[in-house]
Amino acid sequence: MRSNIFTNRTWYDETGAETEDESLAVQSVYYITVRKLISGPSVSNILVIKTSTTATITVDLPQVVGLSATPLSGSYRIKCVAADGTESYSLDIGIGYGENWANNNLHNGCDRIYDLTEMYNGNDFDYLENGRSFILRFIGLNEDPGQFEIV
């Protein structure tokens, strides 16, 4: 099962170089990442409690609260290219709409491909806010359609 939070630990030896060998590690740095892009900070404070170690724990405050990249919002279109190089564009597609809506708007906006495509979700992103990907299958099209793009 996937989590919405990803944690990564990096060990450093006494020279400050990264190491994979725990016995050489004199410093551990933890990076905590939220997988879903959000607007604003993901936390307002961090509590560190030392329970059973003699190590020194330091929190580097300037890096504690990082902002995410801007989540996707609004709408996009698909640029369609015919075999002769002619470009046309789908109707607007809202970021939250799935592959069926995108394929319908492709058919109703792009020239010469009405009812000649099937579209499937590409599953490259865990959240719609992070990005969109589709698998576009051409059915009954007997020519090179060129490169389609999400714009």
Mark whether 46 and 95 lie in a shared domain. no
Mark whether 51 and 82 lie in a shared domain. no
Residue 80 domain flag: yes
Mark whether 135 and 83 lie in a shared domain. yes
Range of weakest confidence among 4-18, 23-37, 95-109, 117-131: 23-37
Mark whether 86 and 131 lie in a shared domain. yes
Mark whether 83 and 141 lie in a shared domain. yes
Q: What is the pLDDT of residue 50?
A: 74
Higher pLDDT, 106 or 45: 106
Domain containing 40: what range?
A: 5-64
pTM of the full predicted structure?
Answer: 0.61
Residue 69 domain flag: no
Mark whether 35 and 79 lie in a shared domain. no
Q: What is the mean pLDDT of residues 74-83?
A: 89
Range of weakest confidence among 28-37, 77-86, 103-112: 28-37
- At residue 129, does pLDDT exceed 90? no
Mark whether 128 and 102 lie in a shared domain. yes
Mark whether 88 and 120 lie in a shared domain. yes
- Nearest C-alpha neighbor of 111 from the set 133, 135, 78, 76: 78
- Please spell the DSSP secondary structure of 63-93, one letter per residue: HHSPBPPPPP-SEE-EEEE-TTS-EEEPPPE
pLDDT, mean over the chain: 83
* Distance between CA atoms of residues 133 and 125, nearest Å: 8
Q: What is the pLDDT of residue 44?
A: 63
- At residue 64, does pLDDT exceed 70? no
Higher pLDDT, 2 or 128: 128
Q: What is the pLDDT of residue 67?
A: 62
* Distance between CA atoms of residues 118 and 123, nearest Å: 16
Long-range contacts of 113-117 (CB under 8 A, 24+ apart): 113/80, 113/82, 113/138, 113/141, 113/145, 116/140, 116/141, 117/141
